[in-house]
Chain A
Amino acid sequence: MSEFFTRMGDGAGVYMTAEEIREDILKGVKDAADRGKVPELTQEEMDYLYQIITMPGNIVGVERGREVVSTSDSGSCKITYHANIAMERSMAVLVSEKVLGADSVDIGNMDYSYKAVKQIVHNETPVMELAQLNAVMPVLYGSMPNLGLYTKPDGPVENWSELLPLAKISEARAAQEEAVEHAVRDIVFVAGEMYEAGADGINLDTCGASGDADFLAGLLATEKIKEKYPDLGVEFGAAGEFVLGMHGKLEYDGTKIAGLYPHKQVKLAEKAGANIFGAVVNTNTNMSFPWNIARTVTFLKACTAVATIPVHVNVGMGVGGIPMSEIPPIDVVTRADKALIEIGKADGL
């Protein structure tokens, strides 16, 4: 029986039979449909996904005319820390555009959090100004809301990670609500400075990394940014396939935030005024690439079906069907891209 080379979620190489691949595709689809309460892929789509996974060649590509835009969060830093080539950030923006063919990138600081950046924003704005003078593509400024940085001893509010195990639930919730106010203020401040420096947009990256309060901070900041600077684009990137309920009761526009999957996350991002939504589906390191990509495409298809703004799916280490390994293997990266675009209907990567 012939076998096909593919990967596990941790990047390990594995040979699977056609039957095993089809079985994992079906299981991945059903897992996503069950968890997210979204429609399963059709048999035709699953057959096409099988074809993509088993296509000969190390890399594959989308059909002509179905190309999408690509962007890179903290893109101005990645040449330095992935390729180990020390490069000034505005220069890295130009290399991304003119050498790597990026359609946009964001400039970010190594301390990739708005709280950290507000202290040094006067150093960040000249980098943005220089990049804007030389780049043709849209250049965004990016950072994370990173609500955890507002807790003691790093910040002013009580630490809910310490309060929750002590069952001090109301105190933990109050601390998160207070942190939201601080985070929104910092994000809007940095966005204003970047607007003045000529930024095309703000990337709110990994909203929800500290749970539902973190996600709420991103939504409220988006609202305020759009009120103050209507021309400034906002890319709202999620942190995970569902919003972790660290608080559990927070709502936005009457919708409870905790537990929302991408097809519902995107609707809140739209209401807040975001221009692009960055969908995330997590990779399970113990499952195969066919299982992970089938699951990711199922979640994504449901998300793009209801979205009225572009959805740029996160396709990097540990998300979007990509294995969680330091160097994502190209043999599965391009298959993931093709599947997400052609079946999941991603507007961008």
Chain B
Amino acid sequence: MSVESIIEAAKQSIIDIDEEKAASVARQALEEGLNPVQVLTEGYSAGIREVGELFSRGEVFLPELILSAEAMKAATEILESAITGAAAEKIGKMIFATVEGDVHDIGKSIAIALIQTQGVEVIDLGRDVPVDKIIEAAEEHGARVIGTSALLTTTMPNQEKLEKALRERGLRDKYKTIIGGAPCTQRWADKIGADAYAEDAGEGVTKVLELMKA
């Protein structure tokens, strides 16, 4: 098979939610000496982004999205072994929480499911999480990125509170912060001093990977 057809098969296996095919394409890619990073980014990651887009349009549903992420995980494990030559290593740790006073976590769960497929270890603190607990967890786990979600205009100020608390404790430069949730915007991120804003789960994946490299 050509490089293009293997990459297309990798992408399609995720869209078709075919875990077995995703794994077999990954093995075939390695046998034929393809660059695993290319297969991962142009094939599987493109597939999961497309599934994410279909989900945001109501054409694919949460169970399918989760199963697609599982198929991606199976392929990623095979490719990562080849990339590192050993057991797959995570590219970094991230703390993720819905801020205090806010109990909405569907969006956060979707974002986490997708981010995890990219080799990021995500520590999910759940919902209604106070700022102090978020910072403690980041320190404890040695996280690089802190992500917070807020679905309410009344709970958004807790994202600003996190930024202030990090500055007051002299920890602001130690972490990269990313915010999301329906009422959040890039303007809000700029105003409070967050490092990044993501409109949806798909963009969250891209932004988190950028922050991990920064």
In the assembled complex, the Cα of A170 lies from the Cα of B187 at a distance in Å of: 41
**B106 on interface, CB distance cutoff 8 Å:** yes
In the assembled complex, the Cα of A301 lies from the Cα of B92 at a distance in Å of: 48
**How many Cβ-Cβ contacts under 8 Å join chain A to chain B?**
80
Interface residues of chain B, those whose CB is within 8 Å of chain A, are 57-64, 66-67, 70, 105-106, 109, 112-113, 153-154, 182-188, 199
**A325 on interface, CB distance cutoff 8 Å:** yes
Q: Known contacts A161-B106, A165-B113, A245-B58; can you find 15 more A-B pairs with CB under 8 A?
A: A8-B185, A164-B66, A164-B109, A167-B66, A167-B67, A169-B63, A173-B63, A211-B62, A244-B58, A246-B62, A246-B63, A285-B182, A286-B199, A318-B183, A324-B183
Min distance, Cβ B154 to any Cβ of chain A, angstroms = 7
B58: A residues at CB distance < 8 A:
35, 242-245, 258-261
B64: A residues at CB distance < 8 A:
245, 248
Min distance, Cβ A287 to any Cβ of chain B, angstroms = 10
Are A164 and B199 closer than 8 Å at their CB atoms?
A: no
A172: B residues at CB distance < 8 A:
63
What DSSP secondary structure best describes chain A's contact surface?
loop
A–B Cβ pairs within 8 angstroms, 7 of them:
A165-B112, A167-B66, A244-B58, A246-B61, A246-B106, A260-B58, A286-B186
Are B109 and A247 closer than 8 Å at their CB atoms?
A: no
In the assembled complex, the Cα of A128 lies from the Cα of B112 at a distance in Å of: 44
Are B59 and A259 closer than 8 Å at their CB atoms?
A: yes
In the assembled complex, the Cα of A169 lies from the Cα of B58 at a distance in Å of: 18
Chain A residue at minimal CB-CB distance from B197: A286
**A326 on interface, CB distance cutoff 8 Å:** yes
B106: A residues at CB distance < 8 A:
161, 244, 246
**A235 on interface, CB distance cutoff 8 Å:** no
A225-248 contacts to B, CB under 8 A, are 242-248
Are A12 and B66 closer than 8 Å at their CB atoms?
A: no
Are A285 and B63 closer than 8 Å at their CB atoms?
A: no
**A317 on interface, CB distance cutoff 8 Å:** yes
Contact flag A248-B183 (CB < 8 Å), given A35-B57, A161-B105: no
A261: B residues at CB distance < 8 A:
58
Min distance, Cβ A344 to any Cβ of chain B, angstroms = 20
In the assembled complex, the Cα of A8 lies from the Cα of B67 at a distance in Å of: 36
Are A248 and B185 closer than 8 Å at their CB atoms?
A: no
**A337 on interface, CB distance cutoff 8 Å:** no
Min distance, Cβ B170 to any Cβ of chain A, angstroms = 31
B112: A residues at CB distance < 8 A:
165
Contact flag A324-B182 (CB < 8 Å), given A35-B57, A259-B58: yes
Min distance, Cβ A219 to any Cβ of chain B, angstroms = 18
In the assembled complex, the Cα of A324 lies from the Cα of B194 at a distance in Å of: 20
Are A326 and B154 closer than 8 Å at their CB atoms?
A: yes
Min distance, Cβ B192 to any Cβ of chain A, angstroms = 13
